[in-house]
Amino acid sequence: MTMKSFFLLVLGFGVLLAGAHANEQSELTRRAKIDALIAEMTLEEKAGQLTQFSDPGDITGPAPSGSRDKKKRKLIKSGVVGSVLNVVGVENVRVLQKIAVEESRLGIPMVFAYDVIHGQKTMFPIPLAEAASWDLDLIEHSARIASIEASAQGINWTFAPMIDVSREPRWGRVMEGAGEDPFLGAEIAVARVRGFQGEDLSAHDTIASTLKHFAGYGFVESGKEYNRADVGTITLHNIILPPFRAGLERANARTVMNSFNTLNGVPATGDRYLQRDLLKGEWGFDGVIVSDWGSGIEMIEHGFAEDERDAARLAILGGSDMDMESFIYAPKLPSLVRDGVINEALLDDAVRRVLNLKFDLGLFEDPYRYIDAVREETQLFTAEHRAAARKIAQDSVVLLKNEGSLLPLSGTESIALIGALADDKDTPLGNWRARAVRNSAISVREGFEAAGIDFDFERGARLEIGEATFGSEIAINVTDKSGFEEAVTAAKNADKVVIVLGEDALQSGEGRSRAEIGFPGVQQELLELVYDANPNTVLVVMSGRPLTLTWADENVPAIVQAWHLGHEAGHAITDVLTGAVNPSGKLPMTFPRSVGQVPIYYNFLNTGRPDPNQPVFWAHYTDEENAPLYPFGYGLSYTAFKYSNLRTRKRDDGVEVSVRVKNVGDRAGAEVVQLYVHDQVASISRPERELKGFQKLTLDAGESSTLTFMLTKKELGFYNARGDFVFEPGVFDVFVGGSSAAKLNKEIRVHFALD
């Protein structure tokens, strides 16, 4: 080694050490600053840091009224509040931040939070729709844009991603998640956290994310909102928790929100096992746990806390750091400490987490970092953002049926466009529409007009009566059929019909559970009359959940699942119907034949009597099939893909699986190649199939490609009843294909211990 290279080596080490030292120094400085602040804070100020209130202007839950509201405003005004939510707009944020920083005793900046669930100003498809794209880059980009827009309006913390795995289409909030599968859900959780938090959380255009709701909210009994959730540890660790683990371990999510429900009898907000033993203990989570809106005080209703003081005690003991809108920490924690009921160290730990989040966000360095009127003026609802929304909307559409290639539309036929939702500029915005302007989406009707399609529009029937709002119940038209006649006439006079049916945006989302999941109102009757008038009918379904489409599947030749696709919905749906875009979406949730099958999902355990080899005594219904209408991972294309050459090869750390995929159709298309495994025999019964890998690729007509996947201990192992991850050598089935019903399979014997 020459002297010069030796010198450079030493210099390099020196720089590295200095860098590490500088990092360590800055860590020490931060810790010292936080310690010094905590040492100075009174009990009231500590309790204040653990308090989060909503601006009364834009509530997202049952807001306290009267005197409590006045006290809340006074506390915000006095700056002893850690965070506020639902304050949007740089000037509104500036006013409150100025009070906290310049008028309160310690000048600790506040964090401004908002539900940026599927966009801030530019609405993207609802998360369940984005999940149908299976495109992790697009999903991350969607969150990135939402983060840029939200931070441009003064927000530094979003209550997203919602990562509740759910098998319950009756539950309104399935629209907000990534569907029924933990593997897909984990990948999407990571993508969305990375999109929100970016590379540098202290940058002015990145915001803290929230993994929610911890835990089990997606398993509410009967799909009824806020209901109890009872699950065994196998389901908890193998189905519900993986997206949370992934969001923390692989994307460093900075906050977690606990949930309204009881999990096995314990309200999550007071659940010490979930929050302290597991999340903060075993998983080492060093961020902030925020309660859900009022979930702290609701522990009284749950019969878990005696009164507000007891609720505050149980919440802080349980590990819930910040109290959203229960108004129990600020008034009750100081006296609980003074009376020796709880140790002040509990408050100090929670305060440390909150202050640490504020350091992460750069708010101590510059409390006004996210307050930039020029950004607010120039970064919202831009053409670039809308183009991104259109792209992911296109890829979120799922083609469910296309008999006789009725689709794509040729562009020469006359079309009858029917349905209230075809002309609806509000529903596509979805449920959590943040700062979107009402009725600002592109409707299907406008998409058709822009594409120059020759069509007549007939509403057929109203969907709702009056105007729906976030905080009010929606009234559905169940009697008025006054537009039926015109719709049937239009259908008769056209070459083809495109009928758009489904749910209003505010029929899914929080507080919107449905016991029946067919078309609401008089839509089913309209569909049958229109189809009768012209069987060349394309059904476009707009919904925030899987609906029971069984009649349509038995009769209508073409069906497209179009969810609530955001601002660019009309263009994206038109792009797919005209063939400008070849649909590539795959279902992130099983579609049932009837609501009686629910919960129905693909990764089920077998029963002891799976086969009908006896007339009565086997696992079945007497009045319904076992199979779903459309399975998880299903979706068609205007082309077709053929799978072959499924091969497996032993590697040091696992089994390599390769498969050849060929586009055997006459046009380019994208396919989501899915890999499923089945552990034939294990110490617990294992699912018939589990998604353990997927890759989305585009192939030209006639083009083929060979894809490889790796199956390691991580994919072949599972969590046992004690919550320990185990791998048991044995025989596994491997399935590869374009849905969870994939037929191509191979058996592998994994007897070597994977380390």
Instruction: Point out which residues bind ligand GLC (CB under 6 A).
Output: 60-61, 85, 115, 159, 212, 292-293, 510
Q: Look up residue 604 and give its DSSP letter.
A: P
CA-to-CA distance for 145 and 140, rounded, in angstroms? 9
Cβ distance to ligand GLC smaller for residue 215 or 636: 215
Q: How far is the CB of 292 from ligand GLC (least distance, A)?
A: 5
Residue with tokens 């505010």: 506
Q: Is 292 a catalytic residue?
A: yes
CA-to-CA distance for 578 and 576, rounded, in angstroms? 5
Q: How far is the CB of 212 from ligand GLC (least distance, A)?
A: 6
CA-to-CA distance for 352 and 343, rounded, in angstroms? 15
Q: Quick one: tokens of 435?
A: 């700062």
CA-to-CA distance for 648 and 650, rounded, in angstroms? 7
Q: How far is the CB of 265 from ligand GLC (least distance, A)?
A: 20
Residue with tokens 């058709």: 448
Question: Considering 115, 181, 205, 292, which one is annotated as catalytic?
Answer: 292
Q: How far is the CB of 214 from ligand GLC (least distance, A)?
A: 11
Longest dimension (CA), the chain: 92
Cβ distance to ligand GLC smaller for residue 215 or 522: 215
Q: How far is CA 98 from the centre of its chain?
A: 34
* 540 beta partners: 500, 560
List own/partner pairs for 94-97 with CB under 8 A and 24 or more apart. Answer: 94/154, 94/368, 94/371, 97/367, 97/368, 97/371
Cβ distance to ligand GLC smaller for residue 63 or 490: 63
3-state secondary structure labels for all residues of 517-545: CCCCCCHHHHHHHHHHHCCCEEEEEECCC
Q: How far is the CB of 69 from ligand GLC (least distance, A)?
A: 17
Cβ distance to ligand GLC smaller for residue 292 or 321: 292
DSSP codes, 314-371: HHHHHT--BEES---HHHHHHHHHHTTSS-HHHHHHHHHHHHHHHHHTTTTT-TTTT-
C-beta neighbour count of 227 within 10 angstroms: 18
Q: How far is the CB of 555 from ligand GLC (least distance, A)?
A: 38
Cβ distance to ligand GLC smaller for residue 197 or 379: 197
Residue with tokens 């019909």: 497
Q: How far is the CB of 515 from ligand GLC (least distance, A)?
A: 21
Cβ distance to ligand GLC smaller for residue 215 or 581: 215
- Residue 647 CB contacts under 8 Å (≥ 6 apart), including other chains: 657, 658, 659, 746
| Catalytic annotation, residues | 292
